[in-house]
Amino acid sequence: MQLDARAPSGPLSEKWDRCKMDMRLVNPANKRKYHVLVVGTGLAGASCAASLAELGYNVSTFCYQDSPRRAHSIAAQGGINAAKNYRNDGDSVERLFTDTIKGGDYRSREANVYRLAQVSRNIIDQCVAQGVPFAREYGGQLDNRSFGGAQVSRTFYCRGQTGQQLLLGAYASLNRQIAQGRVKSHPRHEMLDVVLVNGVAKGIIVRDMVTGQIERHSGDAVVLASGGYGPVFYLSTNAKGCNVTATFRAYKRGALFANPCFTQIHPTCIPVTGDYQSKLTLMSESLRNDGRIWVPKSNGARKPDTIAESERDYFLERKYPSYGNLAPRDISSRAAKEVCDNGLGVGEGGRGVYLDFADAIKRLGEDAIRERYGNLFDMYAHITGENPYRVPMRIYPAVHYCMGGLWVDYRLMSNLPGLFVLGEANFSDHGANRLGASALMQGLADGYFVAPYTITDYLAGVKPGVGTEGGEFAEAEARVGSHMKRLQDTKGKVSAQVFHRELGKMVWDHCGMARNRAGLEGMLRAIPTLRERFWREVSVPATAGGMNQALEYAGRVADFIDFAEVLATDALTREESCGAHFREEYQTEDGEAKRNDADYSFVSAWGYNGENQAPVLTREALQYEFVKPSVRSYK
């Protein structure tokens, strides 16, 4: 298969304008004849649905939550980047572009990233106009904070709840369109299949999670904005409901899955306390400005205050003297894993390291620390029952974000005509690693400012109106029905969660912070056994209709098991270390990632090849015309 990214030619700064000029339009009177289906109502989905409806299209939205407002974008804390240069500190579109492409370790498309930096400015204006209560300075102007990976202050924020406020803004715009009758919202609906008519996306099959009914919905275009696949690791900072089902089922219909092995690990999360643990909570990285990270030099359960200074190993300060506790995310995460692998980890289960504020409190006083981090300390105390002013915090890395996703071209359309993929669900802008405060930017860029144009262009070439009567719909509905029947007929004795936990442990151990050939091959051998056990032993209550949360969950776990094979295959075949993908075989003597531009400067796009068959790889070569890939250095 030949992949055409459809990136326009010409100078970088003119590509998007040129593309917009080249795109076709739909007459206002004709827009109402078209219907677009949007799956997922986070930042990307809600903003896209609202914007399309404002243009005059009919839109249906679907989300598994009980309200569009609860999509997991709501949990983003830090902020949203925009190249406004309000600080006069030298920011520009060019600089945001360069930072993002470098942060992604040169594994993203130049044209996409440049467009993202360009429209970042419009996003802030749009959100302000909607009434998003951004932090302000005393003069009433918008405030900024700085964030990792950048030397300028370009992050806009709403306290520690930026994602919430941006989502509520998009949700408000969506509500306005719902009230006007142009959007029909379907909460508590889960997408279970994409329907292709003559190879073109024309509909979806969903399950009404309240009645249990399987429904057919047809549209002239289908938009997937269903988020990332973090919970393939079981434990992550994602919501419990986040899942790969929508994108994975599209993959099974022929959409390509790009770079699944690019998964980001966040170094400062509250560690696991027991097997029952369902979720990991992120603690802001800013804590590393004043906290010192250490483990005891020898193992054995001891209270931290009984461990003498000479008995402590401040491993980041030791290994990275110039960056110390502020070493980049991937380096810090791997160093913590290494000391825990050596049996030096602290806390229950031994998967944790201390983040100690004793020195900072001695130096600055408890009040100063409270002022800086009070809310985080409270959150930690609430969750762990420990007082971090007295006892060092325990932290451990956790899965946080997925850079990989369905392959899309410059116009955010997958290789299946009519199937658009937005936000975290696509792979497009972050390469091998995402910078802080860029996820919100990308979701809203896709939904507000890219997809409304590109979907219009697509619809201009499509005859509107498609029913759900066709054989393709019946076939897809039957496929979904038999899959669910199979789950309910298993009548095993083990909950899906048990399998999910087992899968997650395997993926985390072998395809997490550090990967190697033996581990990945072992994982690929173990997954079929796990799958076989799942389908023999899983317990799903059979109900005639109505709510069945165990059925929903089992379906997602089944997809995670299958998807983990694609993930491991991608990690195995990318024989280099870049960004968040660290292959132990490819590192420098001092443990830095060794990227291989000569052989791996491409996007890996995986195609479904049938049940129990290895996926097929298609490569999209990455060309760097405007930036020169260089080696990241922290020395």
* Site residues (CB under 8 A) for other proteins, limited to 176-195: 176, 178-179, 185, 187
Q: Which of 41, 51, 155, 604 binds other proteins (CB under 8 A)?
A: 51
Which window, 19-27, 313-321, 381-389, 616-624, contacts other proteins (CB under 8 A)?
A: 381-389
Q: 592: phi > 0 → left, psi -120 to 50 → alpha, else beta; which?
A: beta
CB of 9 to other proteins, least distance (A): 26
How many residues appear in the chain? 635
Closest CA to 247 of 230, 235, 233: 230
Is the separation of the CB atoms in 574 and 580 below 8 Å? no
CB of 530 to other proteins, least distance (A): 17
Q: Which of 4, 9, 29, 274 binds other proteins (CB under 8 A)?
A: 274
Nearer to other proteins, 358 or 547 (CB): 547
The CA-to-CA distance between both ends of the chain, in Å, stands at 42
**Footprint of other proteins on 1-30 (CB under 8 A):** none
Is the separation of the CB atoms in 389 and 357 below 8 Å? yes
Which window, 120-128, 409-417, 461-469, 569-577, contacts other proteins (CB under 8 A)?
A: 120-128
CA 324 to CA 258: how far, in whole Å? 34
Q: Which of 152, 550, 558, 605 binds other proteins (CB under 8 A)?
A: 550
Tokens (6 digits) for 595: 């990227």
CA 438 to CA 252: how far, in whole Å? 29
In SS3 terms, 525-589 reads as HHHHHHHHHHHHHECCCCCCCCCCHHHHHHHHHHHHHHHHHHHHHHHHHCCCCECCECECCCECC
CB of 98 to other proteins, least distance (A): 23
CB of 119 to other proteins, least distance (A): 10
**Footprint of other proteins on 285-344 (CB under 8 A):** none
Tokens (6 digits) for 396: 């451990």
372 binding other proteins? (CB under 8 A): no
276 binding other proteins? (CB under 8 A): yes
Residue type, 427: F
CB of 176 to other proteins, least distance (A): 5
Nearer to other proteins, 210 or 614 (CB): 210
- Across 403-546, the runs of DSSP E, i.e. the strands, are 405-406, 419-421
Residue 36's φ and ψ, nearest 5 degrees, are: -120, 135
592 binding other proteins? (CB under 8 A): no
Dihedral sign computed on CA atoms, order 108, 109, 110, 116: negative
CB of 476 to other proteins, least distance (A): 27
Mapping DSSP to helix (H, G, I), strand (E, B) and coil, where does residue 111 land? helix
CA 372 to CA 252: how far, in whole Å? 48
CA 177 to CA 52: how far, in whole Å? 10
**Footprint of other proteins on 133-162 (CB under 8 A):** 133-142, 158-159, 161
Nearer to other proteins, 19 or 523 (CB): 19
Which window, 16-24, 270-278, 555-563, 626-634, contacts other proteins (CB under 8 A)?
A: 270-278
Is the separation of the CB atoms in 540 and 490 below 8 Å? yes
Residue type, 456: T
CA 125 to CA 448: how far, in whole Å? 12
70 binding other proteins? (CB under 8 A): yes
C-alpha torsion angle, residues 522, 523, 524, 529 (rounded to 10): 100
**Residues contacting residue 612 through CB under 8 Å, at least 6 positions apart:** 528
**Footprint of other proteins on 200-219 (CB under 8 A):** 210
69 binding other proteins? (CB under 8 A): yes
Q: Which of 40, 45, 68, 388 binds other proteins (CB under 8 A)?
A: 68
Q: Which of 90, 301, 309, 382 binds other proteins (CB under 8 A)?
A: 382
374 binding other proteins? (CB under 8 A): no
Tell me the per-residue interface mask from 411 to 450 with other proteins, x by CB under 8 A, - otherwise: -------------------------------------xx-
65 binding other proteins? (CB under 8 A): yes
Nearer to other proteins, 157 or 508 (CB): 157
Is the separation of the CB atoms in 58 and 182 below 8 Å? yes
CB of 130 to other proteins, least distance (A): 5
Q: What is the CA radius of gyration of the chain?
A: 24
Closest CA to 70 of 283, 241, 295, 313: 241
**Footprint of other proteins on 500-529 (CB under 8 A):** none
Residue 624's φ and ψ, nearest 5 degrees, are: -105, 100
CB of 420 to other proteins, least distance (A): 16
Q: 333: phi > 0 → left, psi -120 to 50 → alpha, else beta; which?
A: alpha
Nearer to other proteins, 544 or 621 (CB): 544
CB of 82 to other proteins, least distance (A): 9
Distances (CA, A) of 506 to 349, 494, 559, 618: 16, 18, 15, 26
Q: Which of 146, 153, 497, 596 binds other proteins (CB under 8 A)?
A: 497
Nearer to other proteins, 174 or 571 (CB): 174
Residue 302's φ and ψ, nearest 5 degrees, are: -135, 155
130 binding other proteins? (CB under 8 A): yes
266 binding other proteins? (CB under 8 A): no
* Total of residues contacting other proteins (CB under 8 A): 83
Which window, 93-101, 260-268, 462-470, 490-498, contacts other proteins (CB under 8 A)?
A: 490-498
122 binding other proteins? (CB under 8 A): yes
CB of 233 to other proteins, least distance (A): 15
452 binding other proteins? (CB under 8 A): yes
CB of 28 to other proteins, least distance (A): 13
Which window, 303-311, 383-391, 412-420, 519-527, contacts other proteins (CB under 8 A)?
A: 383-391
364 binding other proteins? (CB under 8 A): no
88 binding other proteins? (CB under 8 A): no
Nearer to other proteins, 315 or 373 (CB): 373
